Amino acid sequence: MTEHPARICILGGGFGGLYTALRLSQLPWIKSEKPEIVLVDRSDRFLFSPLLYELMTGELQTWEIAPPFEELLAGTGVRFYQGSVAGINVSEKQVQLQNGTELAYDRLVLALGGETPLNKVPGALDYALPFRTIADAYRLEERLRTLEETDTDRIRIAIVGAGYSGVELACKLADRLKDRGRLRLVELSDQILRTSPDFNRDAANKALSERGVWLDLETTVEAIAADTISLNYKGTIDTIPADIVLWTVGTRVADMINALPLKKNPREQLVVTPTLQAVDQPEIFALGDLANCKDAEGQQVPATAQAAIQQADYVGWNLWASLTGRPLLPFQYQHLGEMITLGTDNATLAGLGLKLDGSLAAIARRLAYLYRLPTLEHQLRVGLNWIAQPIRNVLEDISK
C-alpha cells in the first residue's frame, strides 16, 4: 500500500503564510520525505501591505504590490486554494473551506492575520472605511474620485488613529488632494506614533504640519454618521463635517480563531512557544498578528510585517525539522528599525545606527522593500519598471 506524503496546510497568504510556503519550497527535502504544501487564502493576490499607501498617489500600480499567488508560486510545487476558511477541526486535523472543500493536514500553519474592528463606536461599521486590504484601497479610491469630480471646494477627511497607518495615509492623501484636502488626524493619546523613535516622530510631525493636517490629540470618537464625525476632547463633544472617515485603529483576531480549543491571551491571540507552535498542539504553528509570541530571549514579538517575515523563515525551517526528525529552532527576533512614508517621495527611517529623512529616505525605503518582495522574478520585474518609469515620463513630456 502506497503511503501518502504528509500535508502541510497554510491558512493565510500574507507575509507569514506566503513566505512560509516559499521557505518550505526551498528546503532540501529528500524525495521520500517531501510533503504536499497547500496555501489557502480568500484573495487571489498577495499584498505587500507597507506599499499599499502608494496606490493612493499613483506612485505604484496594483500589479507591483499585489501579484497573483499563482504567479508567485509557479514552479515551487506549492498548491494554492482560493477560498475562505469556514472552520478547523483540531481533533480530526481537518480544515473546512466555505465552498465545501475539506483539507486534512499533518501540520497546520495559522497565518490568517487580523481584521480592523469597526464595532467600537456607533456608526463606524456603516460609515467608516478601514485601510488594510486591496479591496479597502479600491473603496477609498472610488470615494475619492467621486468627490474629486464634484464642484466642492474642500474634501474633508478624518483619520482615526495616529499610528503608522494613520500618519502615512494622512501624508499621502494630503499630497494627492493638495489645496482641496482638509485632513484631520484623531488620536486618543497625547502624541502621534507613540512607539516610534523620536527622530521618526519629529519627521512625521514636521511632514503633517507642512501639509496642513490638523491633529486632534487626546481625543476620542463618540459617533460617526454619513457626513459627520463627533469628537470628544476633555468632555466637550464637537460634531464636524467629514466626507470620508478612515479607521486605522486596532486589530481583531478572526472569530474562527477564537473558537479553536487552544490557549489564548486576553486579546484572543494564540499563545505559542518560542518555536512558534501552539502550546497545546505542537503540530499547529502560528505567526503574525494572531500569535502571542515571545522569542528565545523572552522579548515580546510585535505584530508587524517585519516580524512576520522573520517568523516565516523559522516556521518553514521548524516544519521541515519536525517532519525529518531534526531539532527545532527557537525564534530570535531582530528589530531592524522602522520606515515610514510621509508623502510623495518623502519618508523617514531609523534603525541599525542609521537615521534618514526626506527623499533619500524614500529611496532607501523603496530599495529595502524591493529586496523584501516575495520572489526574485517579481523583484526584477518591479525593479526594472521603477528604473524605466522616469525614462517613460521624460519621453511623454517630450512628445507633448
Taking only the tens place, the pLDDT of each residue in 47-92 is 999 999 999 999 999 999 999 999 999 999 999 999 999 999 999 9
Residue pair 205/192 in contact (Cβ under 8 Å)? The answer is yes
Distance CA 215, CA 228 (A): 17
Percent of the chain at pLDDT > 90 equals 86
Residue pair 120/250 in contact (Cβ under 8 Å)? The answer is yes
Distance CA 369, CA 337 (A): 13
Distance CA 350, CA 174 (A): 23
Residue pair 278/285 in contact (Cβ under 8 Å)? The answer is yes
Which is nearest to 276 in space by CA: 290, 260, 257? 290
Distance CA 178, CA 173 (A): 8
Q: What is the DSSP letter of 309?
A: H
Percent of the chain at pLDDT > 70 equals 98
Q: Is 223 helix (H, G, I), strand (E, B) or coil?
A: strand
Assign 2 a pLDDT band (cuts: 50, 70, 90).
very low
Taking only the tens place, the pLDDT of each residue in 204-216 is 999 999 999 999 9
Q: Is 166 helix (H, G, I), strand (E, B) or coil?
A: helix
Q: Is the pLDDT of residue 395 over 90?
A: no
Q: What is the reported pLDDT for 326?
A: 94
The single-letter code of the amino acid at 363 is I
CA geometry: angle 229, 231, 232, nearest 5 deg: 160
Assign 397 a pLDDT band (cuts: 50, 70, 90).
low
Q: Is the pLDDT of residue 1 over 70?
A: no
Residue whose cell numbers read 523584501: 372
3.40.50.720, 1.10.150.20, 3.40.50.1820, 3.50.50.60: CATH of 7-42+83-115+252-324: 3.50.50.60
Q: Greatest CA separation found in the chain? A: 75
Please tell me the CATH superfamily of domain 124-247, with its number.
FAD/NAD(P)-binding domain (3.50.50.60)
Q: Is the pLDDT of residue 10 over 90?
A: yes
Taking only the tens place, the pLDDT of each residue in 103-131 is 999 999 999 988 899 988 999 999 999 99
Residue pair 326/71 in contact (Cβ under 8 Å)? The answer is no
Distance CA 235, CA 220 (A): 10
* Cβ partners under 8 Å of residue 162, min gap 6: 185, 186, 187, 189, 191, 192, 193, 215, 217
Q: Is the pLDDT of residue 352 over 70?
A: yes
Assign 394 a pLDDT band (cuts: 50, 70, 90).
low
Q: What is the reported pLDDT for 256?
A: 84
Q: Is 175 helix (H, G, I), strand (E, B) or coil?
A: helix
The boundaries of every CATH 3.50.50.60 domain in the chain are 7-42+83-115+252-324, 124-247
Taking only the tens place, the pLDDT of each residue in 184-203 is 999 999 999 999 999 999 99
Distance CA 285, CA 278 (A): 6
Pairing of strands 244-247, 155-160: parallel
Helices 15-26 and 305-324: angle between axes, nearest 10 degrees: 40
Q: Is the pLDDT of residue 400 over 70?
A: no
Taking only the tens place, the pLDDT of each residue in 258-312 is 889 999 999 899 999 999 999 989 999 999 999 999 999 999 999 899 999 999 9
Instruction: Return the number of other C-beta atoms located less than 10 Å from residue 87's C-beta.
Output: 13
Cell numbers of 375, please? 520572489
Distance CA 321, CA 314 (A): 10
Q: Produce one character per residue of 23-44: b if its CB has 16 or more CB atoms within 10 Å, e if not.
A: bbbeeebeeeebbbbbbbbbbe
Q: Is the pLDDT of residue 339 over 70?
A: yes
Mean model confidence pLDDT for the chain = 94
CA distances in angstroms from 385 to 64, 85, 257, 388, 391, listed in the order given: 9, 36, 39, 5, 10
Taking only the tens place, the pLDDT of each residue in 132-167 is 999 999 999 999 999 999 999 999 999 999 999 999
Q: Is 329 helix (H, G, I), strand (E, B) or coil?
A: coil
